[in-house]
């Protein structure tokens, strides 16, 4: 085996780590089995692409058709990433036969190569693969199609993440909002690597050797760091999942579907009475102490249509349901923290008592509302 550059070393390390992490996820027992399988297959394809320095020495010279087919599998990575994002944000996501249309770019790439590559003899195939100075038009089209596909799926991933985060805030009182920030970081890192990879292929097609080698090194290093970060993050927080129903509608969609709702204002008598009843219910019945409280649960308690309650809180009050409920929880926590007779309660016990299910979520919400950490607040106001 011949290793010609630092980029080759980085790519081999990335391939090894990707395969290791994929194997770890496939053997890991988890409620979210589908997500693990999707990201594992994605990592295996990344490993195949990163390990091209090995396939270029041990596969392409002897089986050029199979070698190029392995490289073409990269067309399946953007859909796999998109499905992974859907599976960890939407609780009702399932793979269906209709999702096969996402393989269309892969099929097109194979079809483009059939006439002049796959149907050619061995020597002709080797000649095409070695003709770096003059790539056939089919390969140039495939590179263009791949980068357009990656860009489209990255945008789609951003849309899914932002929409599901919005759904969580509008309909649920608990959840790891920071998880969505993690997903945004994940896709942003992939986007950065894709941009560098695009420049790398442009340099290769135009025979710009020095910029190409630099781009190869940057791509290899960023891919290696990305995989290391992904492994560390997964090991530290194996339960990172956000779960909303994909069929739920955003408040702006509810308003668009019901024009009369858009004109509701807090000053309207009917709306004012409903709001008063809502606040009275929150103060007297304390439904916010229920960890899994959702907009649907609260609407049943008030005997109101969930859509109407959602518009009332998320639109008319101009506050997310998530923040609306957590404000009551924080106020209750403040009472407990300021009560010297309850100083024996730990922060963890208090956050569970007031309805939170995560220490990080509680700390974030508490500091947002009071500008202090729970420990600081107890020290300053306990009497």
Q: What is the CATH number of the domain that holds 171?
A: 1.20.1070
Cα 143 to chain centroid, rounded: 25
Q: Are residues 47 and 171 in the same domain?
A: yes
Q: Are residues 148 and 230 in the same domain?
A: yes
- Residue 249 placed within a domain: no
Q: Are residues 212 and 331 in the same domain?
A: no
DSSP state of 264: -
Q: Are residues 169 and 131 in the same domain?
A: yes
Q: Are residues 161 and 308 in the same domain?
A: no
Question: Can you give the pLDDT at residue 247?
Answer: 83
- Residue 49 placed within a domain: yes
Q: Are residues 208 and 316 in the same domain?
A: no
**CA 326 – CA 254 distance, rounded (Å):** 23
8 Å CB contact between 44 and 19 = yes
Question: Can you give the pLDDT at residue 141?
Answer: 92
**CA 107 – CA 123 distance, rounded (Å):** 25
Please write the tens of the pLDDT for every residue from 180-206: 888 898 899 899 888 888 888 887 777
Give the helix ranges, DSSP H, for the chain: 6-27, 33-50, 52-58, 64-72, 77-89, 104-113, 122-130, 137-171, 177-205, 209-236, 251-257, 269-285, 295-302, 306-310, 321-338, 347-353, 359-370, 374-381
C-alpha distances (whole Å) from 125 to each of 107, 153, 325, 376 are 19, 31, 64, 70
- Residue 136 placed within a domain: yes
Q: Are residues 48 and 182 in the same domain?
A: yes
**Whole-number CA gyration radius for the chain:** 27
Q: Are residues 326 and 290 in the same domain?
A: yes
Q: Are residues 224 and 298 in the same domain?
A: no
- Residue 68 placed within a domain: yes
Question: Can you give the pLDDT at residue 4?
Answer: 60
Task: Specify the number of domains making up the chain.
Answer: 2
Is the C-alpha dihedral spanning 195, 198, 204, 208 positive or negative?
negative
**CA 379 – CA 359 distance, rounded (Å):** 19
DSSP state of 248: P
Residue whose entry in the numeric block shows the structure tokens 């955003």: 250
Cα–Cα–Cα angle for 238, 244, 248, rounded to 5 degrees: 170
Ranges under pLDDT 70 in the chain: 1-4, 132-133, 234-243, 257-270, 383
Q: What percent of the chain has pLDDT over 70?
A: 91
Question: Can you give the pLDDT at residue 142?
Answer: 93
- Residue 147 placed within a domain: yes
Please write the tens of the pLDDT for every residue from 320-365: 999 999 999 999 999 999 988 888 999 999 999 999 988 888 998 8
CATH number at residue 312: 1.10.10.60
Range of the domain at 265: 260-381
Q: Are residues 200 and 308 in the same domain?
A: no
Q: Other C-beta atoms within 10 Å of 73: how many?
A: 15
8 Å CB contact between 223 and 11 = yes
Cβ within 8 Å of residue 165, ≥6 positions away: 177, 180, 242
Question: Can you give the pLDDT at residue 260?
Answer: 52
Residue whose entry in the numeric block shows the structure tokens 């292929």: 201
**CA 150 – CA 108 distance, rounded (Å):** 15
């Amino acid at each position: 085996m011949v290793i010609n550059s630092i980029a080759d070393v980085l790519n081999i390390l990335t391939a090894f780590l990707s395969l290791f992490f994929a194997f770890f996820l496939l053997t890991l027992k988890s409620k979210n089995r589908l997500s693990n399988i999707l990201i594992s297959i994605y990592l295996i394809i990344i490993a195949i692409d990163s390990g091209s320095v090995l396939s270029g020495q041990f596969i392409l010279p002897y089986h050029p058709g199979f070698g190029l087919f392995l490289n073409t599998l990269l067309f399946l990575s953007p859909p796999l990433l998109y499905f992974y994002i859907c599976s960890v944000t939407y609780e009702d996501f399932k793979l269906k036969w209709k999702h096969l249309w996402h393989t269309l770019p892969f099929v097109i790439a194979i079809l483009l190569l059939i006439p002049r590559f796959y149907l050619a003899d061995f020597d002709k195939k080797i000649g095409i693969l070695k003709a770096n100075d003059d790539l056939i038009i089919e390969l140039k089209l495939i590179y263009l199609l791949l980068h357009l596909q990656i860009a489209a799926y990255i945008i789609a991933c951003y849309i899914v993440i932002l929409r599901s985060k919005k759904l969580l805030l509008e309909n649920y009182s608990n959840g790891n909002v920071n998880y969505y920030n993690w997903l945004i970081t994940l896709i942003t890192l992939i986007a950065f690597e894709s941009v560098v990879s695009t420049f790398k292929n442009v340099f290769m097609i135009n025979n710009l050797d020095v910029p190409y080698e630099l781009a190869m090194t940057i791509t290899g290093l960023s891919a290696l760091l990305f995989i290391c970060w992904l492994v560390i993050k997964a090991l530290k927080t194996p339960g990172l999942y956000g779960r909303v129903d994909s069929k739920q509608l955003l408040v702006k969609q509810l308003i668009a579907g019901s024009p009369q709702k858009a004109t509701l204002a807090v000053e309207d008598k009917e709306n004012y009475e409903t709001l008063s009843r809502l606040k009275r219910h929150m103060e007297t019945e304390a439904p916010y102490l229920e960890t899994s409280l959702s907009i649907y649960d609260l609407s049943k308690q008030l005997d109101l249509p969930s859509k109407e309650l959602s518009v009332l809180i998320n639109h008319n009050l101009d506050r997310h349901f998530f923040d609306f409920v957590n404000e009551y929880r924080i106020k209750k926590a403040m009472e407990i923290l300021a009560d010297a007779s309850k100083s024996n309660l730990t922060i963890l016990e208090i956050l569970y008592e007031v309805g939170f299910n995560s220490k990080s979520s509680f700390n974030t919400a508490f500091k947002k509302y009071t500008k202090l950490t729970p420990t600081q607040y107890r020290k300053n106001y306990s009497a």
